[in-house]
A and B are shown apart, each in its own frame.
Chain A
Amino acid sequence: MGDLLRYRDDAAHEEPAVTLDAFLGASNATAVRIEPGEDARALLPHLDRIALVEVAFPAYRDGRGYSTARVLREAGYTGELRAEGDVLVDQVPLMRRCGFDSFAPRAEIDSATLKASLERYEFVYQGAADGAVPVWKLRHG
């Protein structure tokens, strides 16, 4: 298990995440785990009581979690959004753009490689969940 990487100022949420079914079954849990096939929109009525959403990446090739993250951020979720599982260093910048702000990678991520990776692109073409300004906006103000 690699170290937890966080890009938030608040303390890490310690309560273990429960399954989506358990969460929706009238639990008072504040942390929930979303599997790739589950619909994050089921959480939208409850966002104000959630402190942590853990999005599972059982295999790095499965990209459903990227949409899960964006759906939650677009709905106004501001709590911790964690990518857990087969998270590789080259994916972290894309995940950051989709709104993830913490990472629990299965294998250790080299910090120097990650730093270079996160700083590599000065510009982005498209708007996403990270607030980066797309180049069309830079071109036209």
Chain B
Amino acid sequence: MYQYDKYDQSIVDARVEEFRDQVKRRLAGEITEDQFKPLRLMNGLYLQLHAYMLRVAVPYGTLSGPQMHMLAHIARKYDRGYGHFTTRQNIQYNWIKLDECPDILAELATVEMHAIQTSGNCIRNISSDQYAGAAADEVADPRPWAELLRQWSTFHPEFTYLPRKFKIAVIAADEDRAAMRLHDIGIQLVKKDGVLGGRIFVGGGMGRTPMIAPEIKNFVTADDLLSYVEACLRVYNRYGRRDNIYKARIKILIHEIGADEYRRQVEEEFVAVKALGIDPPQAEFDRITAFFAPPAFDAGASDAIDRTDPDFAVWLDQNVKPHKQPGYAIVNISLKKTGDIPGDASADQIDVMADLATKYSFDELRVTHAQNIVLPHVAVRDLPEVWRTLDAAGLAAANLDLITDIIACPGLDYCSLANARSIPVAQKIASRFADQGRQRDLGELKLKISGCINACGHHHAGHIGILGVDKKGTENYQLLLGGSGAEDASLGKITGPGFDEDGIVDAVEKVTNVYLGVRADGERFLDTYRRVGMEPFKEALYG
């Protein structure tokens, strides 16, 4: 994985000192909270319901064992012994003290980590496919492109006060594991006549006006990437709406002027920008790419595996995915054990995962947008030991992509924007469907819960989505069906009137029963919904 040189380290160290100075000025009353807000947000520090929340960047979701250990250390020393992995492949801490924040950043900097641009109206942490470098279906590792974008976007002087936040994802396979088209810019790497380039999609997003990004450019090579993306951003910075915070994302601009007109403006801007010489040479791309070379796999490793332990076999079938290297596998660690808070991990669990990465996965881990953790490169022969260790730590829930593998935002338990709680709803649904046989029978079923219309829990992209709203002072939950954040991206539709907290759990059960009754062979819930439409589900819910 990428390693800092003296330049990267110098920039991150300078950031720690800058933020220390900003906090000092705030605590001394030299700047107002209103003036401090954009500064702290640019460093991932939010003021939540009960305390400050700090979001630490995990660039494109990749981190090392020592970095993971540092996350555990911070949870122990500065928080309440746990952290929350997010849908942006980051981690956030919910109980942070403002005056300790500079020290946390200083500790992070010792392992090449930071909280730069994890919030604010700027270019956020770049996200990517959690199986990058391990998946058999990728045309290339997308992470060198993501790292190129990370460096370019870090403290970009022109794009730090954009109309609204800006999220970029890079993938390199037809199967979209990163919800790429629900980003402000989504890039899919493809090969054309043997040359690697990116398809550029712009203007996707969730929030209160969800949109799937249209393709703006069908092929951009690495040596034009930064100029092209800079042109995309400049058009947005100049013409994105600033009169209404809810209409300020780039998706609204593109919706209002049309993809063709936006493309025309970008192409025009690209001509001007390309002449500036802002694209690094091939040597820099090669330097970055070298960090992502495949690890030293054992070429003779065997795929043989003893499946006699039934619990192990279930976990193997559900959470372990094929690797491009024979004799290796991709291990998904579910942070969705029934009763737990989706995405939360204790400091001890984080340490366990870090140690496993060091010992069994070439010192590498990934955070997924579904709030799980991946050990990307595990030898098949080590799977039983990895599973036993995970099981002992409460990390062996065998529910990847099943109905209890729920994405949920922090909701009203933590978040100052939320209208309703998400976590208790997730826990109740997980309990209802806790039976392993039952959830496996339901098959792939992505259930996503947001506690408000901002959609941090990706409810629009859930096969089943749940949106918490405030209805005359009480929490109410709307049900959506048919969303997808994958390569078949679609937006869920609301079934009808909402439900109370227990009612929504019953409603989820009813729609899954409809599915079980009418599904054809091999159909997932989503496939059945697409075939039969909303009516049978509505009938069961409201009939």
Q: Which residues of A are at the interface with B, using a C-beta cutoff of 8 A?
A: 36, 39, 60-64, 66-68, 70-71, 74, 88, 90-91, 93-95, 97-98, 110, 113, 116-117, 120-128, 134-140
Q: Is the CB of A135 within 8 A of B151?
A: yes
The 5 closest A-B pairs by CB, nearest first: A63-B161, A97-B157, A136-B280, A135-B7, A94-B157
A120 with B11, Cβ < 8 A, contacts A61-B38, A126-B278, A127-B277 known:
no
Q: Is the CB of A88 within 8 A of B155?
A: no
Which residues on the B side are within 8 Å of A61 (C-beta)?
38, 121, 161
Q: Is the CB of B22 within 8 A of A90?
A: yes
Mask, B243-254, CB within 8 Å of A = 1, is: 000000000000
Contact of B242 among A62, A71, A113, A122 (CB under 8 A): A62
Chain B contact residues: helix, strand, loop or mixed = helix
B244 CB, nearest partner CB in chain A, Å: 13
Q: Once bound together, how far apart are the Cα atoms of A107 and B151, in whole Å?
A: 33
A139 with B162, Cβ < 8 A, contacts A123-B11, A125-B155 known:
no
9-residue interface stretch from B44-52, B281-289, B390-398: B281-289
Q: Is the CB of A136 within 8 A of B284?
A: yes
Q: Is the CB of A63 within 8 A of B38?
A: no
Q: Is the CB of B151 within 8 A of A120?
A: no
Q: Is the CB of A126 within 8 A of B152?
A: yes
A38 CB, nearest partner CB in chain B, Å: 10
B431 within 8 A of A: no
Mask, B35-58, CB within 8 Å of A = 1, is: 100110000000000000000000
B152 CB, nearest partner CB in chain A, Å: 5
Contact of B21 among A91, A94, A116, A128 (CB under 8 A): A116
Which residues on the B side are within 8 Å of A67 (C-beta)?
158, 234, 237-238
B14 within 8 A of A: yes
Q: Is the CB of A138 within 8 A of B7?
A: yes
Q: Is the CB of A64 within 8 A of B237?
A: yes
Which residues on the A side are within 8 Å of B159 (C-beta)?
63, 66
B interface, size bucket: 35 or more
Q: Once bound together, how far apart are the Cα atoms of A18 and B14, in whole Å?
A: 40
Q: Is the CB of A88 within 8 A of B35?
A: yes
A98 with B157, Cβ < 8 A, contacts A116-B21, A121-B14, A123-B10 known:
yes
Q: Once bound together, how far apart are the Cα atoms of A93 and B18, in whole Å?
A: 12
For this complex, 12 residue pairs linking A to B, each with C-beta atoms less than 8 Å apart, are A63-B160, A71-B272, A90-B22, A94-B155, A113-B21, A121-B11, A123-B11, A127-B276, A127-B277, A136-B280, A136-B284, A139-B5
Q: Is the CB of A63 within 8 A of B237?
A: yes
Contact of A74 among B11, B25, B272, B280 (CB under 8 A): B272
B156 within 8 A of A: yes
Q: Is the CB of A136 within 8 A of B157?
A: no
Q: Is the CB of A125 within 8 A of B158?
A: no
A56 CB, nearest partner CB in chain B, Å: 13
Those of B266-282 within 8 Å (CB) of chain A: 272, 276-278, 280-281
Q: Of B10, B11, B280, which is in contact with the most chain A CB atoms at under 10 Å from its CB?
A: B280
Q: Please name the residue on chain A nearest to B35 by beta carbon.
A: A88
Which residues on the B side are within 8 Å of A93 (C-beta)?
157
Those of B11-36 within 8 Å (CB) of chain A: 11, 14, 17-18, 21-22, 25, 30, 35
A58 CB, nearest partner CB in chain B, Å: 11
Q: Of A93, A110, A117, A127, which is in contact with the most chain B CB atoms at under 10 Å from its CB?
A: A127
Q: Is the CB of A125 within 8 A of B152?
A: yes
Which residues on the B side are within 8 Å of A122 (C-beta)?
10, 14
Q: Please name the residue on chain A nearest to B8 by beta carbon.
A: A135
Which residues on the A side are within 8 Å of B25 (C-beta)?
113
Known: A71-B272, A94-B157, A121-B11. 12 other contacts (CB 8 A): A60-B161, A61-B161, A62-B161, A64-B238, A66-B158, A66-B237, A67-B237, A70-B158, A88-B35, A98-B157, A110-B30, A139-B284
Which residues on the A side are within 8 Å of B234 (C-beta)?
67, 70
A112 CB, nearest partner CB in chain B, Å: 11
Contact of B11 among A39, A125, A139 (CB under 8 A): A125
Q: Once bound together, how far apart are the Cα atoms of A7 and B5, in whole Å?
A: 32
